[in-house]
Structure 1
């Protein structure tokens, strides 16, 4: 195992097996395809190497502790088979790859992008989808992308061979490829499905991460979308974000925080309050008490809290 190498902890799990406490850390590593998870398990003074799977990490330590060859499902030990845990882990993801069946094709949508282009059903730069089909009598991967001025289909086949087709829109690019003619071209890109349409529309709403709160240009764009139409002109709304960005406390009691920037006698109505909540949800906050209006109104900067708890730097 490399020494003095730093890793970012993404998740920490603790489970008791035969009265022994096993601690598993999910750490961030890098591969040719970008960031990826790796796993470290520890029980007492016994610690695994950094492993590609949780199963290997946990089972290797279990073998050393109990001198048996029992193998555990790493995902189950981490609790990933429990809906309550997976829902929590996935709750703040802005997007998850999904798929739909189109005739004999199973089309995966791996990224959403938006634009004002009618020919692509408002999909735009960054949109990516893929499926597997035959090309030149070989099994092939069709990888589809929408860029600013064109659509691209890259066909990977026969090991490392590939070919690119580029045209202005899905109809032209698939006409050039010359297969799967019975399908609507936007269907092949998976642009006509209602779920995809909803995601594209949602992508039109500006948002940012917590680390961008000190970028006034980005925050102003979100403010213009959610708040500008219902806020009085002399309110220093940006100071609210500057103050919270500098504070270590990750929990915001929203009404109390807003009273600090509004005039003393100003009443914050429900419409304005909802607008503030909508803006905060689009800058990385999560509502930890989604109750009625006469109950507590607290927004928790959940992502930042997770970073505070789990994104530590450790050396091995």
Structure 2
């Protein structure tokens, strides 16, 4: 059995599908739900319970090391206040460098915008820093600035943090990873 990323109508949210031979699960919001969905399809007379990531062996260092072998970058998350910022791309080596990050750097988090749940996707582009706020499938807002700090000032939210913190750049761990990845 393996898990593949799937896509439904809303392409900004990840989806997961589990497969065993020619049988597929529904597209689910988490890998564990995808596994449960397939299990229920295969064994319709049972009431399965999922033990969490440990059932998959994620508590075994050898399995973790083997699963990361040959992978140059593994997305990770950091905590900024109550926000969980996901760093999903460190970018490509270029002459443009914003606090150690290059063009293609992408981070994101989910929070509230105008009293609605929204996805904030932050990117470093060739000429600017961009924040796209996805409010719904059909509604998004794009905010541009030269640097993370002034881009966030243009939005006017999360004033107790620097824009570099919200981008995930003002924390020791990402800086080290960025330096390693760029050389």
Provide the secondary structure at the position in 2 that maps to 1:176.
Answer: helix
Aligned length: 170
**Residue 59 and residue 81 in structure 1: after superposition, are their counterparts in 2 closer, same or farther (change >3 A)?**
farther
Q: Which has the higher contact order (CA 8 A, sep 6+)?
A: 1
Scaled by the length of structure 2, the TM-score of the pair is 0.74
Structure 1 counterpart of 2:157: 179
Work out which of the residue numbers 71, 84, 107 in structure 2 matches 1:93: 71
Structure 1 counterpart of 2:109: 131
> How large is the Cα RMSD of the aligned pairs?
3.2
More helix by share: 1
1:152–1:165 Cα contact (<8 Å) kept: yes
Q: How does 1:1-316 map to 2 (within 5 A)?
A: 25-26=1-2, 31=7, 33=11, 38-40=18-20, 49-52=23-26, 53-62=34-43, 68-71=45-48, 73=50, 79-83=56-60, 84-113=62-91, 114-117=93-96, 120-157=98-135, 160-205=138-183
Gaps of 5+ in 1: 1-24, 42-47, 206-316
Once the 2 structures are TM-superposed, how far is the Cα of residue 35 of structure 1 from its aligned partner?
Answer: 9.9
**Residue 81 and residue 191 in structure 1: after superposition, are their counterparts in 2 closer, same or farther (change >3 A)?**
closer
Distance 1:200 1:162 in 2: 29
Q: Deviations over 1:92-127 (max 9, x none)?
A: 322222122222322111111144445x21211111
2:25–2:37 Cα contact (<8 Å) kept: yes
Gaps of 5+ in 2: 27-33
